[in-house]
């Protein structure tokens, strides 16, 4: 068993803001690689492979320096969690090439809603009217971002919705691991298994990256590892109900990055849909916080 860190709300909030900025940066780089801004576009499977490869190298190096105490991992649960995380990350990177980063990020915030729904059959949880109302609100926001009035449903929005579903299912297994294994061990095992899955998948679509793309892939892995590390430590120093709302600033960072780099700024529909999703997710988070979600959860694929 690992020993929880002392509570420090101010540091937890700062670490969460930093994690949000870093995570939005990974999606920006994935968009640059997937849309051809850095050369011939690379497939999402290859981008996610780079994410796991370089994140594993960074986390492995950090663990080698810190030498945290390790216990026997629950490999069966880790494998299920990592498979869903890999699928979620891959779909998210694919979505970033088709729709604005703010839309993709907003839709990804549905993952706790899907996690709640899946907890009913998989964990036997009972869901009350407040949680159902929160889920319904968030899903309405997602429907807005699908832009039904345009006559077509955005393909990228469907990919982002798939990412949220996978990441929501991942939360089920994160709950099973939390409290039983330390955060550094969870990060290491997650990225090791994710790298194995990504390596098997990328064989079928591999393209030789150019120097700029290699640099961007490495940056995605480093930023993701840093984001996960910041979020893990934030969750260890503050209650989930306090920490997680700060993570919604990823929407702001994504919108700014997309506007500055690609000239794509959120429109009225994007702002409305994102606001509705955040309201629903925040209500669900408030309800979950009252049920005392254990600290130390590790998410993000």
Query: Over the stretch 67-95, which tens digit does the pLDDT of each residue have?
Result: 888 888 999 999 999 999 999 999 999 99
Q: pLDDT tier at 206 (50, 70, 90 boundaries)?
A: very high
Measured distance CA(261)–CA(300) in Å, rounded:
24
Which token pair is 63? 């663990």
Question: Cβ contacts of residue 267 below 8 Å, gap of 6+?
Answer: none
Task: Determine the average pLDDT of the residues in 129-138.
Answer: 82
CB 42 within 8 A of CB 213: yes
Element (H, E) at 166: helix 155-177
227-230: long-range pairs with CB below 8 Å, 24+ = 227/18, 227/19, 227/20, 227/22, 227/23, 227/26, 227/300, 228/19, 228/55, 228/59, 228/187, 228/298, 228/300, 229/59, 229/62, 229/187, 230/15, 230/16, 230/18, 230/19, 230/22
Give tens-digit pLDDT for 240-257: 656 666 777 888 899 899
Q: pLDDT tier at 207 (50, 70, 90 boundaries)?
A: very high
Which token pair is 187? 């990060």
SS3 state at 298 = coil
Q: pLDDT tier at 2 (50, 70, 90 boundaries)?
A: very low
Exposure pattern of 273-290 as b/e (b: 16+ CB <10 Å)?
bbebbbebbbbbbebbbe
pLDDT of 237 reads 76
Query: Which residue, chain included where needed, has tokens 């159902």?
Result: 132
CB 249 within 8 A of CB 25: no
Mean pLDDT over all residues of the chain?
A: 83
Kindly report the pTM of this predicted structure: 0.83
Whether pLDDT at 271 is above 90: no
Query: Which residue, chain included where needed, has tokens 């670490």?
Result: 15
């Amino acid at each position: 068993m690992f020993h929880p860190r002392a509570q420090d709300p101010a540091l937890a909030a700062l670490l969460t803001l930093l994690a949000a900025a870093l995570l939005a940066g990974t999606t920006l780089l994935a968009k640059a690689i997937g849309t051809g801004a850095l050369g011939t576009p690379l497939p999402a499977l290859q981008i996610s492979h780079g994410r796991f490869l370089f994140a594993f190298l960074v986390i492995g190096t950090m663990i080698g320096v810190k030498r945290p105490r390790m216990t026997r991992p629950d490999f069966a649960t880790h494998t299920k969690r990592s498979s869903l995380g890999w699928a979620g990350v891959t779909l998210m990177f694919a979505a970033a090439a088709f729709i604005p980063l703010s839309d993709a990020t907003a839709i990804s915030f549905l993952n706790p809603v899907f996690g709640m729904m899946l907890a009913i059959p998989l964990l036997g949880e009972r869901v009350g009217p407040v949680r159902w109302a929160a889920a319904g609100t968030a899903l309405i926001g997602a429907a807005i971002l699908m832009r039904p009035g345009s006559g077509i449903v955005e393909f990228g929005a469907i990919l982002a919705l798939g990412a949220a579903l996978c990441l929501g299912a991942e939360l089920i297994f994160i709950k099973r691991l939390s409290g039983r294994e330390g955060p550094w061990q969870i990060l290491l095992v997650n990225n090791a298994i994710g790298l194995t899955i990504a390596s098997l998948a990328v064989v079928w679509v591999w393209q030789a990256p150019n120097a700029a793309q290699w640099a961007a892939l490495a940056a995605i892995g480093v930023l993701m590892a840093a984001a996960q590390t910041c979020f893990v430590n934030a969750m260890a120093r503050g209650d989930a109900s306090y920490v997680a709302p700060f993570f919604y600033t990823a929407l702001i960072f994504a919108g700014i990055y997309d506007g500055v780099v690609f000239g794509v700024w959120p429109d009225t529909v994007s702002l409305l849909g994102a606001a509705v999703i955040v309201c629903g997710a925040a209500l669900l988070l408030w309800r979950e916080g009252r049920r005392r979600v254990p600290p130390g959860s590790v998410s993000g694929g």
